[in-house]
Structure 1
Amino acid sequence: MSRKAKNSKGTTNALVDLGFEDAAELSAKAVLAMKLNGLIDQRNLSQTEAAAIIGMSQPKVSQVRRYKLQNISLERLMQALVSLDQHVQIVVQPARRAQAAGITVAA
């Protein structure tokens, strides 16, 4: 998670605006973590219970709960969602002029 020179013109991604080189990946992780945290809340799971179900350590679950996602891969977040009975779908398609090449995650 490194930053480059600030972008003088705003975008639709605050992480890009703040100069993070890995803004697309961080945004994708944040969307997945929001969904994961929502499911943990919905099921009223403690961090220890969630860790047992999703196969992460309790400290890793704590990181997800606080959106400290630097040391957690996209793949690990997707696997955690699958462990909570979610279907994760990845779609690859050509970028269109109106939509630049990049990563978009919807949950």
Structure 2
Amino acid sequence: MSDEISVTASSGNVFADLGFDHPEEEQLKAQLVREIRDILASRRLTQMKAADVLGLKQPDVSALISGRTDKFSIERLLRCLRRLDREVSIVITEKIPDSRTAMAEA
């Protein structure tokens, strides 16, 4: 019996680590949902009131709050944030090389 535990360094994107097909999109959706959820919580909105504000049905708000993003596009999530009086800015930067990739290329 071995007491060794195998540890794998994260890529920085849990969705990539778990093998999702579009990990960058899933990570972005998760960030947007977290913002929406935080705003709804700070305003203490019920799911019915949140549905009214967001222009969604209550079951969709429930899915959103639960983190089930499969029926939400990035555009739909951005629309929700705008309905919550938020401006969304997209920042484009140079890609930072993955330390594992940089080490492999050296």
Q: TM-score range by the shorter chain?
A: 0.7 to 0.9
Question: Aligned partners of 1:76 and 1:67: how far apart in 2?
Answer: 14
* TM value normalised by structure 1: 0.77
Report the counterpart of residue 87 of structure 2 in structure 1: 87
Runs of 4+ residues deviating >3 angstroms: none
Aligned residues: 91
Paired amino acid for 1:64:
L
C-alpha displacement at 1:92, in angstroms?
3.6
Any gaps of 5 or more consecutive residues in structure 2?
1-7, 99-106
Residues 6-57 of structure 1: CA deviation (Å, up to 9, x unaligned): xx76411111011112111110000000000000000000011001011111
* TM value normalised by structure 2: 0.78
Report the counterpart of residue 19 of structure 1 in structure 2: 19
RMSD of Structure 2 on Structure 1 (CA): 1.7
Report which of the two structures shows the higher radius of gyration computed on alpha carbons: 2
C-alpha displacement at 1:90, in angstroms?
1.9
Any gaps of 5 or more consecutive residues in structure 1?
1-7, 101-107
Question: Aligned partners of 2:97 and 2:74: how far apart in 1?
Answer: 22
Report the counterpart of residue 74 of structure 1 in structure 2: 74
Pick the structure with more helix per residue.
2
Report the counterpart of residue 63 of structure 2 in structure 1: 63
The higher-RCO structure (CA 8 Å, 6+ apart) is 1
